[in-house]
Amino acid sequence: MRRLLLTALIAVRAGLPATAAEAAMPPGVRTNLAAAVVFIPEGANATPTTTFDLTLHLHGAPAVVERNFIAARSPGILANVTLPGLSAVYARHFATTNAFWEIVRDAADRLRSEGGPPPLLRRLTVTSFSAGFGGVRELLKDEAIFERIDTLVMADSIYAGFAGDPAERRVDPANMAGFLRFAREAVAGRKRLLITHTQLATPTYASTVETANHLIARLGGERTPANEDWGNGLRLLNRFQRGQCEILGFAGATGEDHLQHLRQLARWLRRASEDPAD
């Protein structure tokens, strides 16, 4: 039993697939570029292009992320960065902004037609699961990168430290500054932000529930209660929606509940691309 619990914990931390079926790689072309795996689905980008759309995902087994990317019918190509370790690993990796721009350049080179110039990045979607937030937080600190991100999807993936006495569990606003700024841009309709979270408790740092509450409070809003069965073990408890910013609170306080937010990435990608008014 102890070994099973440890295996489950490691799987959650690494964003690993839990079954052999989940580990099966979908058809397509992959290129390993330093820490990133660039994936072009089979049949996509068959003709030369002058611009391209890129989805950059942080933390999640390539097979799971790639299948969700295909299922969402997301345009363009996918770059997945999954590193061994927790959020600090992602923070260190993206603290040097060259890491981000290298991914963009390498992705463009992968789509370059023979003898032609590399295509230009048109739209950028950044998605994150679990520990990937450490990298996203670094990306949002850089003005040029912040401006390039059109859509941000955080799948049970914003954690933070505490300010002052940890017993009071006050979310450190410095850890949330970039996310709050992006949320305000989404409220104004200039960007899109989708945040999902479970009820998983984190005794020594702020949970995804607490960081979501922090953002909603700073935006001067409140949650609307709900009780909706979304299938696949997801039950919506509440939501906050203003402009193009949406925060969805789901039931569940286990590692399996947490992993479901990675497995449902296609749903989040589709939702983030919809018109909130529809």
CATH code at 141? 3.40.50
**Is 2 contained in some domain?**
no
Percent of the chain at pLDDT above 70? Answer: 87
Q: What is the pLDDT of residue 185?
A: 98
Q: Model confidence over 183-193: pLDDT tens digits?
A: 999 999 999 99
User: Residue 25's closest CA among 83, 64, 68?
Assistant: 64
Q: Distances in Å between the alpha carbon of 278 and those of 47, 264, 271, 275?
A: 33, 21, 11, 6
**Is 114 contained in some domain?**
yes
Is the pLDDT at 257 greater than 80, yes or no? yes
DSSP 85: S
In the chain, what is the greatest distance between 2 CA atoms, to the nearest angstrom? 61
- 133-141 and 87-95 helices, crossing angle to 10°: 30
**Is 26 contained in some domain?**
no
Q: What is the pLDDT of residue 26?
A: 76
Domain extent for 68: 33-273
**Is 28 contained in some domain?**
no
Q: Which of 68-72, 103-107, 123-127 comes out lowest in average pLDDT? A: 103-107
**Is 5 contained in some domain?**
no
Could you give the residue ranges of the DSSP H alpha helices within 128-206? 133-141, 143-148, 173-187
**Is 69 contained in some domain?**
yes
Domain count, the chain: 1
Is the pLDDT at 7 greater than 50, yes or no? no
